[in-house]
Amino acid sequence: MRRYWVGLESKCSPNGHGEDYREYVEVEDGEDEAGKIHDAIVRLALDLTNMRDGDRIAVHLLPEPMVRE
């Protein structure tokens, strides 16, 4: 089993209530590791942005000339 935490790197509290924005994800052999981590990231985004069901997070691949290093 592997165990990860997903959360904010800093110890800030965006909502001012002192909540710890961290979730532990346990992955057993044979489980979908990327899927479990992805789900935790989405839950974090929902908590931090007050997103609602139906809202979506987008990731777009930029054309080569626009990629920055």
Query: In the chain, how many domains are there?
Result: 1
DSSP string, the chain: -EEEEEE-SS---TTSS----EEEEEE-TTS-HHHHHHHHHHHHHHHHHT--TT------PPPGGG---
Q: What is the pLDDT of residues 10-68, one digit of tens each?
A: 655 555 555 566 788 899 999 999 999 888 888 888 777 877 767 776 767 777 765 56
On the question of pLDDT at 1 being above 80, the answer is yes
Global model pTM greater than 0.85: no
Give me the domain span that covers residue 22.
2-66
